[in-house]
Amino acid sequence: MCGIIGYVGKKCTAPILIDGLKRLEYRGYDSAGLAIVSDGRIASEKAVGKVKRMEDAALAQPGFMKLCGCGIAHTRWATHGAPSEVNAHPHFNMDHTIAVVHNGIIENYQDLRRRLEAKGCKFASQTDSEVIAHMISEAYQGDLLAATAAILDQLNGTYGIAVVSSAQPGLIVVARKGSPIVIGLGEGENLVASDVSPLLPHTRQVIYLEDGDIAAITAEKVDLRSVKNVPVEREVAKIDWDAGAAEKGNFAHFMLKEIFEQPESIANAIRGRVDHELGSAILNGMNLSPRELAQITHIVIAGCGSSMHAGLVGEYYFEDIAGISTSVEQAAEFRYRNPIIEPNTLVIPISQSGETADTIAAVREAVQKGAIVTAICNVVGSTIAREAGRGVYLHAGPEISVASTKAFSSQVVMLLLFALRLGRNRRFSRSDGMLLANEIERIPELVREVLAQAPQIEKIAKRYAHNENFFFIGRGCLYPAALEGALKLKEISYIHAEGYHAAELKHGPISLLDEHHPVVALANDIPGKDKIIGNIQECRARRAPVIAVATRGDKQVLEMADAVIEVPPCSRFVAPLPTAVALQLLAYYTAVERGCEVDQPRNLAKSVTVE
Catalytic positions, please? 2, 606
Measure the CA–CA gap between 561 and 523, rounded to whole angstroms. Answer: 10
Residue of 353, 361, 345, 412 whose CA lies nearest to 379: 353
| DSSP for residue 606 | S
Q: CA-CA distances (angstroms) from residue 202 to 11, 20, 388?
A: 12, 10, 30
* Cβ 181 vs Cβ 174: under 8 Å: yes
What residues contact residue 43 under an 8 Å CB cut-off, 6+ apart? 35, 36, 61, 64, 67
3 state SS of 186: coil
Residues written for the chain: 611
- CA atoms of 5 and 498, how far apart (whole Å): 37
Contacts 24+ apart (CB under 8 A), 144-153: 144/98, 144/168, 144/171, 144/173, 144/216, 145/173, 145/214, 145/216, 145/223, 145/225, 146/229, 148/173, 148/175, 148/214, 149/175, 149/214, 149/225, 149/227, 149/229, 152/177, 152/214, 152/227, 153/227
- Identify how many contiguous H helices and E strands the chain contains and give both numbers: 19, 27
> Which 3 state secondary structure label does DSSP give 225?
strand
Which of 111, 159, 133 has the alpha carbon at shortest distance from 122?
133
Q: Are strands 345-351 and 375-377 parallel, antiparallel or unpaired?
A: parallel
Strands 98-103 and 41-48 come out as: unpaired
- CA 476/CA 524 separation, integer angstroms: 11
CA distance 434 to 416: 13
Q: Please give the Cα distance from 234 to 213 (Å, whole number).
A: 10
Residue 535 is which amino acid?
N
Q: Distance between terminal CA atoms of the chain?
A: 10
Taking CA atoms, 61 is separated from 51, 65, 507, in Å, by: 16, 8, 62
CA 540 to chain centre: 37
Judge if the upstream peptide bond of residue 398 is cis by omega within 30 degrees of 0.
no
Q: What values do phi and psi take at 258, rounded to 5?
A: -70, -30
Closest C-alpha among 36, 29, 34, 60 to residue 46: 34
Smallest CA-to-CA distance from 138 within 115, 106, 159 is with 115
In this structure, the number of other CB atoms found within 10 A of the CB of residue 228 comes to: 10
